[in-house]
Amino acid sequence: MKVLVTGGAGYIGSHVVRQLGRAGHEVVVFDNLSTGYRWAVTCGELVVGDLADEQALEALFETHRFDAVLHFAANIVVPESVSNPLKYYSNNTRNTLNLLKAIERHRVPHMVFSSTAAVYGMPAETVLTEDLPLAPINPYGASKMMSERMIMDLAAASSLGYVILRYFNVAGANPEGVLGQATPEATHLIKVACECVAGVREGMSVFGTDYDTRDGTCVRDYIHVEDLAKAHVMALDYMARGGESVVLNCGYGRGFTVREVIDVVREQAGVDFPVTETGRRAGDPAALMADNRRITETLGWTPDFDDLATIVRTALAWEKIWQDRKAGS
């Protein structure tokens, strides 16, 4: 297939682009390089541009006849979405609308959308099925929920087919050391802990130790970025075979506490670093895990890296490569 990947120079998008190339797809990446990198586009063509620029989008769709669009480009920092909500409604929701207008005009038949477990908000359940009511508690989750809805409505009114993937906690890096998370000012737990090991942070905080979980810290379902990337490639194959539009959780269906994650990082690195226990971070649900039966049944997806030590090892290896590269440049 000829595939457009928005945000293909970013952390998750770049892993997907690499796998798409290996699967024989022809890739065009559209990315404004605000948080992505040129070097991360390891196959296909990179077009630097912004989804806010409708003329640039039109030119892109006039130049290429896409069989599918994979839409990753977005802002993803929850606290920032709370302090600057309109940035999220612009860059996530409005830009998805711009993209959908081009998809409609050019009758692109397939779309894969990067959504998030944040659309579920603070559910009473800890293992989440896709059919739960959506109740995001921050503008980031709301911006993604609104995007999902626009995709579904356009699909109902046209021949567009979609696979919406709701990511749980994505971590880890390409095991060959070619790609990984390079986001500046990262806030995600495993990345932050890896930066402590690398010495670029003095220490870190555990946000809340009074949750109703096995050790009082939050439980999350950490999925390796390569397994997530595989789900995207399989989603494309599924749509090419005529599969129905569907929403799928992406997670392993089990969780680790914040303390467990930090222990595994210390163990795998063989290095200790200061950890301070502080109060809860606003908007953190106690426990979130994916019910992943639907993705398993629908796509035939099975994980290759369902092991926290492996996730952490690949993240640590990448962190070293990335910090060395930055120091050398």
Q: Considering the complex, what minimum distance in angstroms separates the CB of residue 189 from ligand UDP?
A: 4
In order, the DSSP letters of 147-192 are HHHHHHHHHHHSS-EEEEEEE-EEE---TTSS-----TT---HHHH
Q: Which one, 18 or 220, has the nearer CB to ligand UDP?
A: 220
Q: Which one, 199 or 300, has the nearer CB to ligand UDP?
A: 199
Q: Considering the complex, what minimum distance in angstroms separates the CB of residue 280 from ligand UDP?
A: 7
Residue nearest to ligand UDP (CB): 218
List of residues contacting ligand UDP (CB under 6 A) = 78, 169, 187-189, 192, 204-207, 218, 220, 258, 281, 284
Integer Cα distance of 16 and 293 in angstroms: 22
Active site residue 140: yes
Half-sphere exposure at residue 325, Cβ-oriented, CA atoms within 13 angstroms? 12
Q: Which one, 279 or 300, has the nearer CB to ligand UDP?
A: 279
Task: Please give the C-alpha separations between residue 84 and each of 34, 89, 138, 140, in angstroms, as whole numbers.
Answer: 17, 9, 11, 10
CB 68 within 8 A of CB 4: yes
Q: Considering the complex, what minimum distance in angstroms separates the CB of residue 149 from ligand UDP?
A: 21
Q: Calculate the CA dihedral of residues 251, 257, 261, 264 and round it to 10 degrees.
A: -110
Name the catalytic one among 88, 120, 140, 252.
140
Strand (E) or helix (H) holding 228: helix 225-240
Q: Which one, 89 or 207, has the nearer CB to ligand UDP?
A: 207
Strand (E) or helix (H) holding 205: strand 204-207
Q: Considering the complex, what minimum distance in angstroms separates the CB of residue 76 from ligand UDP?
A: 9
Catalytic site residues?
Answer: 140
